Structure 1
Amino acid sequence: MPLGTLDRTPPPFFKQGPSALTKLMVFSAFALFLMVADARFTLMRPLRAAVAAVLYPVQMAALEPIRLLQEGRGYLDGLAAVQARADAAERRMTEQSVRAGQVEQLLLENAQLRSLLGLGARLAAPGQAAEVLYDAADPYTRKVVIDRGLTHGIAPGSPVVDADGVVGQVTRVLPLVSEVTLLIDRDQAIPVLNVRTGARSVAYGNPGVLGGVLELRFMAGNSDVQAGDLLTTSGVDGVYPPGLRVAQVEAVERQADSTFARIYCRPLARLVGVRHVMVLQPLDAPPDAPAEGAAR
């Protein structure tokens, strides 16, 4: 066979394509083009969305064991928390049942003592619910306006309470609304009784300390008053029914150079942001005379 007729092309196994450098340059240019096109014209957004849609089931399948583990752990934690709350509620019920028995015994003893002393039972002051409309416009006082007035039988001086304690006192009555001065107003004072010691005193409003507190003034420096003492209405003023919760002693400052102690009390009622209150009839007012007293 003549040499000129031989096939000099290399077999397919040994064929060489473009060089590695050429491939690098081509793919680098293509990658650069794709980045610029995606950044300027968002050409790859449909492709990215399609890939994300295809891979979504795979992602959910991969996250399912983790989700099941988290839900199982949350279920066990919730079960333990519910069991703990149930145990605490059972303990509280037991304590309350014991206290209820003690209260019944105390009520019985109180009734027996009052019958021996010839004292009548305490009368509960009637009252009516009211809603706080807004705070008074005067920035130098601590007052609120309620939606009950002269036409509803509200009398000046009526005590105002909420679920936690005494809120204040009605100081102005209009035909449809009334103005209530809060306990922490500087012009307010309320006779109180220390439940622990039985000592009587007068609490004055002090709006400039700790956002508004009550202050027991003219108390001797060696008086038996401690932080945490509960103060209730004493009933000696003929306005507030006795036994209403007023405040709790928060701080007692005794100074060697002062005869009197500085005693600050935190009101128990919600004085800021209160929405619903109860207006009681003053003790010294006859049952059918609130409207007449308000008219005068």
Structure 2
Amino acid sequence: MKPIFNRGQSLQLRLFLAVLVAIAIIIADSRLGSFTQIRKYLDTSVSPFYFLVNSPLRLLDDISGSLASRQQLERENKALQHELFLKNSDLLMLGQYKKENTHLRELLGSPLRQDEYKMVTQVISTGTDPYTDQVVIDKGSINSVYEGQPVISDKGVVGQVIAVSQLTSRVLLICDVSHALPVQVLRNDVRVIASGNSCTEDLQLEHVLGNIDIRVGDILVTSGLGGRFPEGYPVAVVSSVKVDRQRAYTVIQAHPTANLQRLRYLLLLWKVDKNRNTPMKPHEVHHIANERLINITPQVCLREGHP
């Protein structure tokens, strides 16, 4: 019987050729742009499998929702009706308030800065690689998603898009060890870099001197440096400050405001004016950050003591 794998010079030659081909592909992938397009096509081709794998989870969610008790549904319905009533009463004066705010800004000589365009997206898969913290969302190039696009949740900054296919995109979370985000302390405008330390640990502030004025409980918001993330979005709250006096530096950790381990619905951000890269003034950042903190994390805002 002829053996399946022949040993000897022929096998060694084939192994050598395979290694050469692998090296050639790696070099071509790093130097040629065509392989990026191939990866996009591959991501697009496997996109239906993401939806297929996610369909049982959606089915279970629907079944669990239908099995909820009648009393619980009635309580939720009454609470939602009460909330809707309050929201509708607030909307009655919203138009008038907008006109008054516009008029006041014109009187004060302050330009009216339009907010970013947003789109809701859903997480359909989480990364299986234990060494990276990524999620897959159900929006792609057909929705004008682009690489480097900021992604937030209703609690704060989540991450940025790192790969885009036609129907889906991959988002690198701020807790990933390869991610770094320029932030500033809302209390005194001190600017630092917040680096990921895995989603099971708090963020780490890099290059911090021993005499820096950062305290436990300080709110960190996006500084806008680099032009990727808009200013004033909540990122984290300082959870630990340890001063090493012998080495003259400080080890500071901050807990993300967004629950990065339980993500489902997220927001993609677009700049309305893509040509505007002028950073905002510090008082403008404070104003926008406080407004967002009131809507996103009111308990954090009150604890910090900002108006």
Normalised to the residue count of structure 2, the TM-score between the two structures is 0.53
- Matched residue pairs, number? 178
Q: Indicate conservation of the 8 Å contact 2:235/2:258, yes or no.
A: yes
Q: Does 1:280 align with 2:269?
A: yes
Q: Indicate conservation of the 8 Å contact 2:114/2:272, yes or no.
A: no
Instruction: Tell me which residue corresponds to 2:141.
Output: 150
**Structure 2: which amino acid aligns with 1:229?**
D
In 1, the alpha carbon distance for the partners of 2:191 and 2:261 equals 27
Deviation at 1:137, TM superposition (A): 2.3
Q: Does 1:266 align with 2:255?
A: yes
Deviation at 1:284, TM superposition (A): 8.0
Q: Does 1:228 align with 2:217?
A: yes
Q: Report the secondary structure of 1:169's partner residue.
A: strand
Deviation at 1:282, TM superposition (A): 5.3
Deviation at 1:166, TM superposition (A): 0.4
In 2, the alpha carbon distance for the partners of 1:283 and 1:206 equals 32
In 2, the alpha carbon distance for the partners of 1:207 and 1:124 equals 31
* 1:170-189 alignment, distance < 5 Å: 170-189=161-180
Q: Report the secondary structure of 2:215's partner residue.
A: coil
Instruction: Tell me which residue corresponds to 1:240.
Output: 229
Q: Does 1:166 align with 2:157?
A: yes
Q: Does 1:137 align with 2:160?
A: no
In 2, the alpha carbon distance for the partners of 1:130 and 1:265 equals 26
* 1:42-81 alignment, distance < 5 Å: none
Q: Indicate conservation of the 8 Å contact 2:105/2:111, yes or no.
A: no
Deviation at 1:120, TM superposition (A): 3.3
* 1:56-135 alignment, distance < 5 Å: 111=105, 115=109, 120-135=111-126
Unaligned runs of 5+ in 2: 1-97, 277-307
Q: Report the secondary structure of 1:141's partner residue.
A: coil
In 1, the alpha carbon distance for the partners of 2:271 and 2:135 equals 19
Unaligned runs of 5+ in 1: 1-103, 288-296
Q: 1:178–1:231: structure 2 CA closer, same or farther, 3 Å change rule? A: same
Residue identity over aligned pairs, in percent, reads 34
In 2, the alpha carbon distance for the partners of 1:203 and 1:284 equals 27
**Structure 1: which amino acid aligns with 2:252?**
I
Deviation at 1:285, TM superposition (A): 4.1
In 2, the alpha carbon distance for the partners of 1:113 and 1:223 equals 38
In 1, the alpha carbon distance for the partners of 2:107 and 2:211 equals 33
Instruction: Tell me which residue corresponds to 2:70.
Output: none
Q: 1:111–1:202: structure 2 CA closer, same or farther, 3 Å change rule? A: farther
Per-residue Cα deviation, 1:89-129 (whole angstroms, up to 9, x for no partner): xxxxxxxxxxxxxxx9xx79x947962xxx63333111210
In 1, the alpha carbon distance for the partners of 2:155 and 2:224 equals 18
Q: Indicate conservation of the 8 Å contact 1:132/1:144, yes or no.
A: yes
Q: Report the secondary structure of 2:196's partner residue.
A: strand
In 1, the alpha carbon distance for the partners of 2:115 and 2:222 equals 14
Per-residue Cα deviation, 1:131-190 (whole angstroms, up to 9, x for no partner): 001112222100000000111110111111111100111111111100000000011111
Q: Report the secondary structure of 1:254's partner residue.
A: strand
Q: Give runs of ≥4 in structure 1 deviating > 3 Å.
A: 110-114, 282-287
Deviation at 1:198, TM superposition (A): 1.3
Q: Report the secondary structure of 1:201's partner residue.
A: strand
Normalised to the residue count of structure 1, the TM-score between the two structures is 0.55
**Structure 2: which amino acid aligns with 1:244?**
Y
Q: Indicate conservation of the 8 Å contact 2:124/2:136, yes or no.
A: yes
Find 2:246's aligned residue among 253, 257, 260.
257
When Rg is computed on C-alpha atoms for both structures, the one with the higher figure is 1
**Structure 1: which amino acid aligns with 2:153?**
D
Q: Does 1:191 align with 2:182?
A: yes
Q: 1:114–1:255: structure 2 CA closer, same or farther, 3 Å change rule? A: farther
Q: 1:146–1:260: structure 2 CA closer, same or farther, 3 Å change rule? A: same
**Structure 2: which amino acid aligns with 1:130?**
T
